Structure formats: C-alpha cells, structure tokens
Amino acid sequence: MEAFAALLDTLVYTRSRNAKIAAFARYLRDTPDPDRGYALAALSDGLDFVAVKGSTIRALMRERVDPELWTLSRDYVGDSAETASLLWPEPEHFPGPPPSVAQAVEALAAMTRSTVATELPALLDRLDAEGRYALLKLATGAMRIGISARLAKTAFAQAFDVAIEDVEEHWHGQSPPYTALFDWAAHGAAPPDTENLPLFRPFMLAHAFEADDLDLDAYVAEWKWDGIRVQAVHAPGESGTGESRLYSRSGDDISASFPEIPAALDVPCVLDGELLVRGEAQGGKEGGAASFNALQQRLGRKTVSKKMLREAPAFVRLYDVLQVEGEDLRPLPWARRREALEKLLLRLDPERFDLSRLIDVPGFAELAALRESARDAAIEGVMLKRRDSPYVAGRKVGLWYKWKRDPLLIDCVLMYAQRGSGKRSSFYSDFTFGCWDGDPDGEGQLLPVGKAYFGFTDAELKELDRHVRQHTVNRFGPVRETDKSLVFEIAFDSVHASARHKSGLAMRFPRIHRIRSDKPAHEADRIASLRALIRD
Amino acid sequence: MSDNPDLKGTSARSFHCDRVARAFSWIRPEPWGIHVVPADCWIDPARAVDRALVTHGHADHARGGHGQTYATPETLAIMKLRYATSDGAVPVAYHETITLPGGVKATWIPAGHVLGSAQILLEHAGERILVTGDFKRRADPTCPPFEITPCDVFITEATFGLPVFRHPPTQHEIAKLTDALAAEPERCVLVGAYALGKAQRVIAELRAAGHTQTIWLHGALEKMCRLYEDFGVDLGPLSLVSEAPSKGAMAGHVVLAPPSALNDRWSRRLPDPLTAMASGWMRVRQRARQRGVELPLIISDHADWDELTRTVTEVAPRETWITHGREEAMLRWCELHQKKARALALVGYEDEGGDG
C-alpha cells in the first residue's frame, strides 16, 4: 500500500502529463501482480465495494470526531477521504503491518454493511496518513486526482511498450486485476479472446473547429444531435445465442436504462450514434427527437417503467459503423463505412435506428449560415468529418471536428457561493446566480436560476474568492450569501422549464462567460428574458 | 488579508464577551490590535501608534512608524533591517520585566516561533494576561523554545487551528528533501520558504541532519540569513544563486527562495528544479497543488492543532482569546472541553498563504 500511496501523491503533485505517465508506468513495471492490476483498476475504471461508500466514511468519522469539527475540516480540505485520513486517530498499540493493495482490496470486497464499521477501521489503523488517503480513495472509487482512464491506459502502454489502441481494444471485457492483460503486455501471452463478446470499442472523438474555412470536398458535414453519444453492440456471445449492449461514451453499460435499444438489435455489429428520445424538437415531426431535457428524464435509471418506454421511447440516430458480421470496418475510409452503414440500416429495426443525414450544401458559407439557423431545431451544432479518414480511437488532429453553435448569453447576479472540491478546494468557486423577478429598480427580487463551477481562469478564481469573502452578508453552513453586487455573463446551451427550481427554469451547461465587474446588479437580466429562450 | 466576514458567524458564540470585558477591562482587543489601556500602548498594532509592544519580526505583527517600539533585541534588529530605522527602539531581553505607564508590567517570554519571537505577559490589577503572538512547541535550532506561563487570559493565535493540521516530525520532512536530492542528482530542489524564520530554520534543520553541502540562496534571503548568523545561529556554507559559476554547480543542491519566486522566471537559471515548499499549509494536498508545489514539506513555525490544544490545556487559563487563524474550530474545541473562549476580530494578520 505504501508504493500505491506514494504513486497517488506523485500523481497529485506532478504537473507534467508526461511525468505523471512515466511515474505511473514505473509503478506498473515495478509492482507485482495482482497489486498493480488493482491499482490500475482504481485509477481507471474504478473499483466498487458495496459496503464502502462516502456515507460509510462519514459515519465512521462521526463516531471519532465531533461533527462540527468534522464539518469545518471537510469544508476547509475540500475532500472527504483526505479529511478523514488526516483526522483519523492513530492507534495506541501497534496494529500490524500495512496491508498490500491486494490484501486491502480483498478485505474491502469481503466487508458487508454490518462488518464495515469494525473492519475498515482495522485497515485504517495499519496505515499512516498517506496510506489512509490511498485506501479511502481506492475504497470509495472517487479518486478525483486528475487522472483519466485514458492516462492510465497510456501509462500501461508505455510501461510495456505496446500500442495504446491495442490496450483499449483488449481492455474491455477484462476485470481487475487484469491478469490476462498483464500476461499479454508484460509477458507476451496471446491477447484476451473477446471476438464473440459484445464489447465496447473506443470511440473516435472530435476536436473543436476553430478555423474560418474548410474544404467540403475533403470533409463531409453532418448534424451534431443533442442527445448522448452511444455505441450499440451485438455479438454471438459466449453461448452463441446473441447478446446486445448499449454503451455510453465513457464505456459504461447503459443497456438497463434503455432496454429497447439492445432488444431491437440482432445483427452482429458495432454501431456509433446519438441516443435520442422521440419528439418534435429535433428534425421535425416526422421521425423527430425530443430535446435533451426529455432524454435526461431517462438517464441514470436502473429500471424503466412501461409508461416511460411508451411516453419517451428511445432510438439511435446512427453516425458510423465499426464492425459488421465480425468484419472490422474501422481501417476503411469514412465514405466506405458510410456505404456499409446505409446498407446495414435496411436490416435494422426502423423504430429504433435511423440514419443521421448528411448536410448537403454547396459551400462552407452556406454551411455556416445553416449552422446559425439551427438554434431553433435544438441541434448542438455541426460535425465535420474527413471523407478518407479511418475510424480511430481518441481525438486525432484533422480528422473530425465539432462545430458547436454559439452559446446563449445572459447577465445574472452572484447570490451564493460555496467552497469547491478538488483543485478548487478552499476557494469559493461554486456559484449560484440569479435573475430579476420583476423590476430591479422597484419591487423586483433576485431568484436563483443556475449554478456554475467553471468558465473562469485561475486568476479570476482568486478574484472571485476574494469578492465572496469580502461581500458575505450571511452564512448558511458552508454556503455564503453575498451582497448581490457582482454580475456574471453566463453562457449556456439551452434552457428548459423545470418544476424543480423556484424560478421554474433549468439551464443546460451554464458556465461563467465573463465577469462583468463593470455592470451594476440592477442592470442584470430578468427571468422573463430567460424564459423567452425556452424551446421545448 | 482581512477576512472579516468569517467572524460574523462567530460573534453569537462569544457569549462570555460582555462579562470578560468587565473582568479584564484594562485590555481591549480592537480590530487593529490589542490595546493595553492604562499604559496606552498596543500589541502588534496594524497601524502606527505612539507606543507598540511587538512579539516578533514578521511584517504582519511588526509594522514600522511607531513612536516607541518595545521588543527583543533580535526583533528590533529584524525591524531595523526591514524598515531601515531604529528610532524609538526599546530593547527588552527575554524574562526581563519592565513597568509601563499606568503600572502595567510587561515581560517578554520565548515563543519558539522565529529568532527573537516572544509571548508578552502583561500584569495589572492582580490579573495576568499573556499574548502569544505566533508560536510553536516543537524544537527549532534557531530560537529558544516556547515556555508555558500561567495566566488568567491566554490570547493565542490559531493559524493551524483545525484538527486536520498535524505537522509530522520535522526530521521526516527533512528526509523527504534529502531523499529527493539523492534520487535525481542532476536536478536541484528549489525550496520556497519565507525570508524570516522558515528559510533559516530549513537550513539549520538540514545542518542538524548532517547536510554539509553549500545551500544556494535567492538574493532576497541573504540579509536575513546574515542577521541570524550575527546572532549566533550557524547556517553552514551559503552562496548566492546570482553568483553561481554555472547552472551545473547547483545540481544536487538545495536552493532556497521566497515562495513568490517559485514559479517566477528567476527559477529558469536553476538546473531543472523540483519545486518544494516548506509550510504547514502543505498538509493539505490541494493547497500544495494550487501553488504548483511538487514536493510539499510540512515544516511550520506555528503550533499545529495538537500543540494548540495541548498548550491551552497546559497553560490552563481562565479564558482563552483567539486572535487570528481558524477561530471557529478552536472555539468549538474549547466549548467541548468546558473552557471559556472568545474570538477577537483582529484585522491585518496574514490568513492562508501567510508565513505558515
């Protein structure tokens, strides 16, 4: 556990991405199985222990530390696991040597709700503050140390000098401690056999388009639909009877939330598309899709009621095809894959799968104009894809671009602030802002309309933190109410009616676009102006 | 940095306030300092006054421009270095008791914070009030240790007044530093340390651990190191970075700089520096990250939580007043342990990012 704890701290403190990868790779090479496999899992897909949750840790600490001192400490540190690791009372007698990562994982996995209250403390007692931090991070699966699964896989590839694409390909379907994966990469064994399994394939991603022009002979334009990017997969399965899965962009299996999609897929293939819910907001009444808001009602549900299936049926608007009948189409140029996709579509259930239309425009200027007008159709923007490009994992320069429409803007007033977590810990960085309900110069009042955590630079963060500290008029636990003197220009993608908020509105993806220190609060926008932007 | 809004929430808690003010009416905490009324003098005032009693030389406690400044000879020397004048300086040795106007007696007692740092004990009307200034309890080769002094009112700092702040043993942190040097001998370790106190302490702790190599200094640290040496603190071989014959000469060495220079262009003249910082704030990972620190060294000149609470227990005053830092948690601890306490709304002391 000491080596893993030291690795975590190195990853936390090291700034350069390359140095992080090098440190991680060194750990993977130097650490024996199965410790390294569990460490890799902890830093990529995460480990899940049913009996250990954030609330478990809070409960343990409640028995050991005064709740008020805990709250003050947690608020200051900005991370529960770290706070607990620092506050943990050291045992009076030698509790035994620190556990290895594998021993800790086995112990955590064996814990139940009734045993966790005695067994987790026994583990924590055997570790120092750094070890306790590592154990709690590992146990709760919330690393939040700025390490992406992609970085972990890159480190793995570097450690054993194998291609990152191969790592991503073989990764799925494997489970911690990834012994088959290490056997393949470190010891030259054959890669894990996954041909007949409905596994996730790494997505091809796009860069933001920032140029002024593009040659449409080389690139094809396509709408970027406002749903969630998914991969639908069907394979013969281990039993040969056929298995289907639906994966999110991060590779999470979301089949249970949208069972109608995997149920409708019976051709062995791997499809890339946008998951949408039927409605009229996107693409007109005929075969149209509802706004993102409708889709959101179904996201994250473990089971779906019949009513939901009936009232908000999901379908996938297809962008691409990666595999058909066991044949890997990814090395083919986009145009060839598109042909294969159009051919395959005839074999798919039209109720659940349709084709993302290409945008037929004579030139770039026309495309730009069309993109501008796309606002009302609640489309996210335009995709630009190189016609001769293969389907490659990750974000490769020059192949795919996303050209999002410009955000909506509105002036709001800062109302409340809370300290952030992670790298913004201790800074007042979570902001609630509001618009005027009524005449700001008369009886009008500010009503909260949204929250934003980002959109500002580090220097602006310091400035905002100072503003909050100097303009606090009230404190509610960790929340500070400010004197409502600072105006933010908020950028957001869309706004929807919502019964959950007092203002009756919910903004999608709000972020602080500009700090308008120059603007007096009474000149901020009214709720009515925001309401006028609702499109669903 | 003023952090006044923080104190609003705590005023309701200081329920002993009125009674306390009557019992110890000759001393008044004002926002800009502690006023000793019968002597008409101020302790560590944040603005120029006729007569100031100064606990130690850090700029947030020792401001210039007072008519008279009572302090230890070391503190006065530090102030002279800072403000280029010793007008009105009245040196008071440790344990020497002087009588101020109004019959108030004052004694300077070692606080263990930095060279010359003192607690000030005030005696009047049969009451003893002790002002700690800043202090720590663990050993420091550069200054005499904190002394426990019985008193009625204990006016304490609480810079690290949160239970998460438990500074590890200093030797452990010094070993982290020397291990990092040894691990990559082609690099240097650039340690951010405050010019007064922390820089000299890090050097002295390295020497105590047997590190005899030349330590390279940013120019802003030179004079204070020389001052320490003049007062008999041996810092071993020191050289200025600006006088290094080559970049390579500093490889495998410790380089010390004020924290403001860590991410400055100045550091480009160093051989691939690993950025370290010696401060109690380094206990919290994100604090280190926010400052771009790659090697956090938890070395503090302030008492940590355990030292603060142990000191209140050992001094066993009738009342504890808290000047600056994380007052809320200290108040809560006092409440849990049935000790009378209140927070003073002093301004001008460094909050986070100060000389921790």
Of the partner residues B163, B287, B290, the one whose CB lies closest to the CB of residue A73:
B163
Distance from A17 to chain B by nearest Cα, in Å? 13
What's the gap between Cα B180 and its chain centre?
A: 27
pLDDT at residue B22 in the model = 56
Distance from A75 to chain B by nearest Cα, in Å? 11
Confidence of residue B349 (pLDDT cuts 50, 70, 90): low
CB contact under 8 A, A13 and B6: no
DSSP A151-215: HHHHHHHHHHT--HHHHHHHHTT--TT-HHHHHHHHH-PPPPP-TTS----PPEE-EEP--S---
Of the partner residues A12, A86, A422, the one whose CB lies closest to the CB of residue B283:
A86
Q: Are residues B82 and B136 in the same domain?
A: yes
CB contact under 8 A, B286 and A66: no
Per-residue pLDDT tens for B230-283? 999 999 999 999 999 999 999 999 999 999 898 778 888 999 999 999 999 999
**Which member of A20, A137, A153, A224 is catalytic?**
A224
pLDDT at residue A532 in the model = 85
Strand A204-205, strand A394-395: pairing: parallel
Q: What is the CA radius of gyration of chain B?
A: 21
Task: Establish if B67 belongs to a structural domain.
Answer: yes
| CA–CA separation, B117 and B302 (whole Å) | 12
- Which residue type sits at A121? P
Q: Are residues B58 and B118 in the same domain?
A: yes
Question: B197 lies in which domain range?
Answer: 170-297
3-state secondary structure of A488: strand
Interface test with B, best of A86, A128, A421, A466 (most B CBs within 10 A): A86
| CA–CA separation, B275 and B280 (whole Å) | 16
Confidence of residue B8 (pLDDT cuts 50, 70, 90): very low
Q: Are residues B153 and B9 in the same domain?
A: yes
Per-residue pLDDT tens for B43-78? 999 899 999 999 999 998 999 899 999 999 999 999
Q: Are residues B128 and B237 in the same domain?
A: no
pLDDT of A15 above 60: yes
**Which residues lie below 8 Å from residue B48, measured CB to CB, with a gap of 6+?**
B63, B64, B65, B66
Per-residue pLDDT tens for B102-161? 999 999 999 999 999 999 999 999 999 999 999 999 999 999 999 999 999 999 999 999
A193, burial (CB in 10 Å: exposed 0-12, middle 13-18, buried 19+): exposed
Counting residues of chain B whose pLDDT is more than 70, the rounded percentage is 90
Which tokens go with B355? 């000389």
Q: Are residues B128 and B258 in the same domain?
A: no
Which tokens go with A267? 């051709």
> By the CB < 8 Å criterion, does A13 face chain B?
yes
At which residue do the structure tokens 């600056």 appear? B324
What ipTM was predicted for this assembly?
A: 0.88
At which residue do the structure tokens 């500290």 appear? A469
Task: Establish if B336 belongs to a structural domain.
Answer: yes
The CATH number given to whatever domain includes residue B202 is: 3.40.50.12650
- Per-state percent for chain B, helix, strand, coil, to nearest 5: 30, 25, 45
3-state secondary structure of A99: coil
Comparing alpha-carbon positions, the chain A residue that sits nearest to B329 is A69
pLDDT at residue B11 in the model = 40
Q: Are residues B193 and B284 in the same domain?
A: yes
pLDDT of B174 above 80: yes
Nearest in space to A410 (alpha carbons), one of A536, A532, A529, A534? A529
Alpha helices in B127-169 (DSSP H): none
Which tokens go with B218? 């940013």
At which residue do the structure tokens 């979570």 appear? A430
- Per-state percent for chain A, helix, strand, coil, to nearest 5: 35, 25, 40
Interface of A with B in 53-82 (CB under 8 A): 65-66, 68-69, 72-73, 76-79, 82
pLDDT at residue A146 in the model = 67
pLDDT at residue B3 in the model = 40
pLDDT at residue B4 in the model = 41
* Helix, strand counts (H, E) of chain A: 19, 22
Last residue of a domain, one of B260, B275, B297: B297
Q: Is the separation of the CB atoms in B203 and B115 below 8 Å?
A: no
Domain A2-140, CATH: 1.10.3260.10
Comparing alpha-carbon positions, the chain A residue that sits nearest to B296 is A13
pLDDT at residue B2 in the model = 39
Q: A204-404: which CATH topology?
A: D-amino Acid Aminotransferase; Chain A, domain 1 (3.30.470)
Nearest in space to B191 (alpha carbons), one of B294, B112, B285? B294
| CA–CA separation, B354 and B159 (whole Å) | 9
Q: Are residues B273 and B307 in the same domain?
A: no
Which tokens go with B316? 């066993």
Please indicate whether residue A224 is annotated as part of the active site.
Answer: yes
At which residue do the structure tokens 């799925």 appear? A172
| CA–CA separation, A248 and A234 (whole Å) | 15
CB contact under 8 A, B285 and A13: yes
Work out how many domains chain B is built from and give that number. 2
Which tokens go with A269? 């293939």
> By the CB < 8 Å criterion, does A89 face chain B?
no
pLDDT at residue B326 in the model = 82
Beta bridge partners of B122: B106, B129
| Sequence spans of domains, chain A | 2-140, 204-404, 408-531
Comparing alpha-carbon positions, the chain A residue that sits nearest to B288 is A13
Q: Are residues B135 and B153 in the same domain?
A: yes
Q: How many C-beta neighbours within 10 Å does residue A119 have?
A: 17
> By the CB < 8 Å criterion, does B212 face chain A?
no
The whole-number average pLDDT for the span A425-429 is 81
Which tokens go with A292? 């993102």
pLDDT of B356 above 70: no
Report angle CA B198, B199, B200 to the nearest 5 degrees: 95
* Enclosing H/E stretch for B180: helix B170-183
Q: Are residues B23 and B86 in the same domain?
A: yes
The CATH number given to whatever domain includes residue B78 is: 3.60.15.10
> By the CB < 8 Å criterion, does A472 face chain B?
yes
Counting residues of chain A whose pLDDT is more than 70, the rounded percentage is 95
CB contact under 8 A, A425 and B8: no
Of the partner residues A9, A422, A475, the one whose CB lies closest to the CB of residue B9:
A475
Task: Establish if B353 belongs to a structural domain.
Answer: no
Cβ contacts of A66 on chain B, cutoff 8 Å: 332, 336
CB contact under 8 A, A15 and B292: yes
Q: Is the separation of the CB atoms in B173 and B198 below 8 Å?
A: no
* Enclosing H/E stretch for A487: strand A487-492
Q: Are residues B208 and B106 in the same domain?
A: no
Q: Are residues B108 and B152 in the same domain?
A: yes
| CA–CA separation, B339 and B308 (whole Å) | 14
DSSP letter (8 states) at residue A88: P
Instruction: Establish, for the pair of chains A and B, how many residue pairs have beta carbons separated by less than 8 Å.
Output: 83
The whole-number average pLDDT for the span A215-228 is 90
> By the CB < 8 Å criterion, does B12 face chain A?
no
Q: Is the separation of the CB atoms in B9 and B329 below 8 Å?
A: no
pLDDT at residue B57 in the model = 96
Confidence of residue A419 (pLDDT cuts 50, 70, 90): confident
pLDDT at residue A199 in the model = 87
> By the CB < 8 Å criterion, does B87 face chain A?
no
Q: Are residues B36 and B149 in the same domain?
A: yes
CB contact under 8 A, A13 and B164: no
DSSP letter (8 states) at residue B149: -
pLDDT of B12 above 60: no
pLDDT at residue A305 in the model = 86
What's the gap between Cα B144 and its chain centre?
A: 14
| CA–CA separation, A499 and A505 (whole Å) | 8
Of the partner residues B5, B286, B332, the one whose CB lies closest to the CB of residue A78:
B286
DSSP A435-451: EEES-TTTT-EEEEEEE
Select from 3.40.1710.10, 3.30.70.20, 3.30.420.10, 2.40.50.140 the CATH code of A408-531: 2.40.50.140
| CA–CA separation, B346 and B44 (whole Å) | 11
Q: Strand runs (DSSP E) across A255-361, as ranges?
A: 269-282, 289, 314-324, 327-328, 353-355
